[in-house]
Amino acid sequence: MPPRTTILLTAMEEELQAFLDHSTRLGSESWAGWTIHHLECAGMPCVAVRSGVGKVLASMVTQHLIDRFQPSRLILSGVAGALNPDYEPGDIVLARDLIQHDLDVRALGFPRGQVPWSNDRIFTSCPDLLRIAQKLQTPHRLFTGRILTGDQFFTHSELLSHSYVRDELAGDAIEMEGAAVAQVCSRHQLPFLVVRTISDKADGSAHLDFSRLLPEVARNSWSVVEGILAALPKPV
Ligand code: ADE
């Protein structure tokens, strides 16, 4: 039986490129417009995919990859905006847990982020993967925090009108795929970890910082993913 693979998911091309540049490419396949790269990274069999931005694309491709590969684990890496005032661009955030900030059925009595008529609200990263990542030696500042996900890019005006992301949901960083991928993985009891590098402070200059810093900070997330893969027991 071939060893089961690790899924490496990213949203943007720059983030995927960091994976491809540091791996042995073994081939690729296509599905519904996605290119699925077969790789070996740090001695581990992996498949890497750029999902595209947002919860729908990320969920859709995650479900397909689980069906197709029956993976051992999934690592989602990429960039995020900072909500925690201590975070600076270039810092790395390991998700302790994730919530969909834009899922709001409070009108029917459910707390913000709760999938109605279910227990799904806070999705928790795999403790073993988190522990491995927390122990890595990296030149970047490494935090563990709560990541919020929604189909919105946050700048100063969203922060003003959506103050609940800090006050109510206690988010440390914000992005557009993590909690959706976490929800799909949780349904399948698939261990997952979300690793994000801060690209902007979700403020007035977020759009400029995001574009300027994306290629560089995408490499920071990759270095953590590579470190995790190198620390995992090798398949025999
Ligand atoms: N990803 C990176 N920066 C972000 C922001 N400010 N809002 C949402 N997603 C992001």
Tally of domains within the chain: 1
Q: Say whether 18 sits in a helix, a strand or coil.
A: helix
pLDDT tens track for 90-109? 999 999 999 999 999 999 99
Centre of ligand 1 to C-alpha 235, Å, is 36
Does 81 contact ligand 1 (Cβ within 6 A)? yes
Mean predicted confidence (pLDDT) in 113-140: 95
Does 174 contact ligand 1 (Cβ within 6 A)? yes
Does 34 contact ligand 1 (Cβ within 6 A)? no
Does 190 contact ligand 1 (Cβ within 6 A)? no
Please say whether the beta carbons of 221 and 193 come within 8 A.
no
Q: How far is CA 227 from the centre of its chain?
A: 16
Helix axes 206-231, 127-134, angle to 10 degrees: 100
Centre of ligand 1 to C-alpha 215, Å, is 15
pLDDT tens track for 33-60? 999 999 999 889 999 999 999 999 999 9
Q: Would you tell me how many other CB atoms lie within 10 Å of the CB of residue 232?
A: 16
Does 54 contact ligand 1 (Cβ within 6 A)? no
| Structure tokens, 230 | 């190198």
Within a domain: 1: no
| Structure tokens, 25 | 């490419």
Confidence of residue 7 (pLDDT cuts 50, 70, 90): very high
Question: How many CA atoms lie less than 13 Å away from 161 in the CB half-sphere?
Answer: 6
pLDDT value of position 49: 97
| CATH code of the domain covering residue 20 | 3.40.50.1580
> Active-site residues: which are they?
15, 200
Does residue 1 carry a pLDDT above 70? no
Within a domain: 236: no
Within a domain: 171: yes
Nearest-atom number in ligand 1 for the CA of 150 is 8
Does residue 130 carry a pLDDT above 90? yes
Nearest-atom number in ligand 1 for the CA of 202 is 6
- Residue nearest (by alpha carbon) to ligand 1 atom 10: 175
Within a domain: 120: yes
pLDDT value of position 2: 59
Residue range of the domain that includes 219? 6-231
Question: How far is Cα 146 from Cα 180, in angstroms, rounded to an integer?
Answer: 14
- Residue nearest (by alpha carbon) to ligand 1 atom 8: 153
- Residue nearest (by alpha carbon) to ligand 1 atom 2: 80
Give the DSSP per-residue string, 200-222: E-SSTTHHHHHHHHHHHHHHHHH
Within a domain: 129: yes
Contacts of 208 (CB under 8 A, 6+ apart): none
pLDDT value of position 3: 67
Does 175 contact ligand 1 (Cβ within 6 A)? yes
Does 209 contact ligand 1 (Cβ within 6 A)? no
Which is more confidently placed, 19 or 118? 118
- Residue nearest (by alpha carbon) to ligand 1 atom 4: 81
Question: How far is Cα 199 from Cα 207, in angstroms, rounded to an integer?
Answer: 10
Within a domain: 49: yes
- Residue nearest (by alpha carbon) to ligand 1 atom 1: 80
Within a domain: 76: yes
Out of 56-65, 176-185, 211-220, which region has the weakest mean confidence (pLDDT)? 211-220
